[in-house]
Amino acid sequence: MLVAKQDPNTTLLPKDIKPYVEVIQWCSLANHEVLPHLASWFRPVLGRDPYNKKSVDIAELNIKRIMKFLDGYFLDHTYLVGERLTLADLVMTAHLDRGFEYVCSRAKGHLG
């Protein structure tokens, strides 16, 4: 976020306080909910953490719950905040892309 703020002309961070706070909230959700649950789902499957079926299943359910929430949100919104791409979209997409890259690759038998 600090890097994006270095450019006073950036459109990735809104100038108005309410949308700015919304960007922070979405980034927080991505960092504190999405990323940990994705990691808890794919790291044991990849052998990077001890495998515990119950924990992996719970992480998968949590990600599916979050994805259902996001699917519903995007029925009425094009972007996470406002009418243009923001840092929130980039952070959320980066976390989901990386996590599902591992999950999908493993499911297809491409890893390990």
pLDDT tens for each residue of 8-25: 788 899 999 999 999 999
In a domain, 9, yes or no: no
At residue 97's C-alpha, the angle toward residues 75 and 8, to 5°, is 80
In a domain, 8, yes or no: no
In a domain, 4, yes or no: no
What's the domain range around 87?
Answer: 14-107
| Residue 94, pLDDT score | 94
In a domain, 24, yes or no: yes
Confidence at 76, pLDDT banded by 50, 70, 90:
very high
In a domain, 6, yes or no: no
Q: How far apart are CA 34 and CA 27, in angstroms?
A: 10
| Residue 10, pLDDT score | 86
DSSP conformation letters of the chain: -HHHHTSTT-SSS-SSHHHHHHHHHHHHHIIIIIHHHHHHHHHHHTTSS---HHHHHHHHHHHHHHHHHHHHHHHH-SSSSTTS--HHHHHHHHHHHHHHHHHHHHHTT---
- CATH code, domain carrying 24: 1.20.1050.10
pLDDT tens for each residue of 24-70: 999 999 999 999 999 999 899 888 999 999 999 999 999 999 999 99
Confidence at 1, pLDDT banded by 50, 70, 90:
low
In a domain, 1, yes or no: no
In a domain, 112, yes or no: no
Quick check: 37 and 102 in contact, CB under 8 A? no
Q: What mean pLDDT do residues 74-92 have? A: 97
Number of domains, the chain: 1
In a domain, 69, yes or no: yes
